[in-house]
Amino acid sequence: MHDFSSIMFNGKSSSEFGLFLPISGRVVGYPAKQKVTTPVPGVNGLVDLTPYVGQTFQERQMTYSFIVADASMWRRADEYTTWQNVLSWLMSPSGKLPLFDNYDPNYYYLAELTQAPTLVSDGTNRFTTLTIIFDCYPFKVALQDEGSDDWDSFDFETDVAQFNKWTINGSRTIDVFNVGENTVLPQLVVTGSITIITSEGELIPLNAGTYDQQAMVSQQVLPVGETIFEVRGQGTLQLIWHREVI
């Protein structure tokens, strides 16, 4: 079975249902650009506003064609029960959930199955191939948070060795790199009492606690590339984020 792999979704592995994924059964879709354009009187064609508002992308699709490799789970007496369990596994979530593909072990996708799965028989009135198409968030997300000391997954070509936790005793300049391809909203973990001073001069006072992405949505974001800001006070600051790449 070394030529087969699997996916993990909604808390279960495809292999739990007797479904195995050959290397050729995977089609990785990539997101198309979304251009923001507008007509302008006296100008030929459309004016592209994307450089001013930022580049966005459409959703991507991930297609998987599984082989029914565990015949004991798909006997004629049991196959419809198994099929109902598969449908419940894939179709019951409302909204996107993490999709783990062991062919790409360092990242996951945010995915939802909105299209009906397809079953193809081998001509003996048995279900032999199951094809599903996930609609996914445009970017795949790194499993490890930035600043992790897991050297087994460290990529010397794309990763940056950096700290993500600092002790603040007075004033300190923080320099971090978002080496992904999309702006991210980090989680902030604070002890003591500190104030972040952004590069635009905005003051963000923070007491001890954990501040998730939603709470910080209008305040501290990490654009692609280098971000430098100042922190004052007494305590510690930790930024937790996961890179997003195409």
How much is the average pLDDT of 143-158?
72
Across the range 14-32, mean pLDDT stands at 92
Cβ(1)–Cβ(15) under 8 Å? no
Is 201 found in the same domain as 82? no
Supply the pTM of this predicted model.
0.84
* Together in a domain, 138 and 55: yes
Write out pLDDT tens, residues 123-149.
665 557 899 999 999 999 999 998 776
Asked if residue 112 has pLDDT above 90, the reply is: yes
Q: What is the pLDDT of residue 69?
A: 65
- Mean pLDDT, residues 111-115: 95
Tens digit of pLDDT for each residue in 55-107? 889 999 999 999 876 656 666 666 778 888 999 999 999 999 999 999 999 99
Q: How many CB atoms lie within 10 A of CB 155?
A: 9
Instruction: State residue 153's pLDDT score.
Output: 63
Same domain, 130 and 188: no
Let me know if residue 160 belongs to a domain. Answer: no
For residue 126, being part of any structural domain is answered with: yes
Residue 226 lies in a domain: yes
Tell me, yes or no, whether 33 and 122 share the same domain.
yes
* Whether 138 and 205 share a structural domain: no
Q: Does residue 127 sit in the same domain as residue 50?
A: yes
Q: Could you tell me the CATH number of the domain that includes residue 130?
A: 2.40.30.200
**Helix, strand or coil for residue 215?**
coil
Q: Let me know whether 115 and 20 are in one domain.
A: yes
In angstroms, the CA 87 to CA 91 distance is 6
78 belongs to a structural domain:
yes
Based on the domain organization, do 207 and 112 belong to the same domain?
no
Which structural domain, as residue segments, surrounds residue 26? 7-142
Mean pLDDT of 200-221: 76
Residues 100 and 174 both lie in one domain: no
The answer to the question of residue 94 being in a domain is yes
Q: Percent of the chain at pLDDT above 70?
A: 84
How many domains is the chain partitioned into structurally? 2
Judge if 99 and 29 occupy the same domain: yes
Per the DSSP assignment, residues forming a β-bridge with 82 are none
Q: What element of type H or E holds 232?
A: strand 225-240
Q: Are residues 240 and 194 in the same domain?
A: yes
Task: In whole angstroms, give the CA distance from residue 65 to residue 21.
Answer: 7
